[in-house]
Amino acid sequence: MNTEFIREYCLAKPSVTEGFPFGDDTLVFKVHQKLFLLLSLGDNKSFNVKCNPEQALAYRANYPEITPGYHMNKTHWNTVNFNGNLPDALMAEMIDHSYQLVFDSLPKKLQNPL
**Average pLDDT in the 86-94 region?**
94
**Pair 94, 9: CB distance under 8 Å:** no
| CATH fold group of domain 3-43+67-111 | Aspartate Aminotransferase, domain 1 (3.90.1150)
Q: Is 98 exposed, middle or buried (0-12, 13-18, 19+ CB in 10 A)?
A: buried
**Average pLDDT in the 101-110 region?**
85
**Average pLDDT in the 72-85 region?**
88
Give the pairing of strands 34-40 and 26-31. Answer: antiparallel
Give the pairing of strands 16-19 and 26-31. Answer: antiparallel
Q: Where are the alpha helices (DSSP H) in the chain?
A: 3-11, 53-62, 88-105, 108-111
Mean pLDDT taken over the chain:
91
Indicate whether this model's pTM tops 0.85: yes
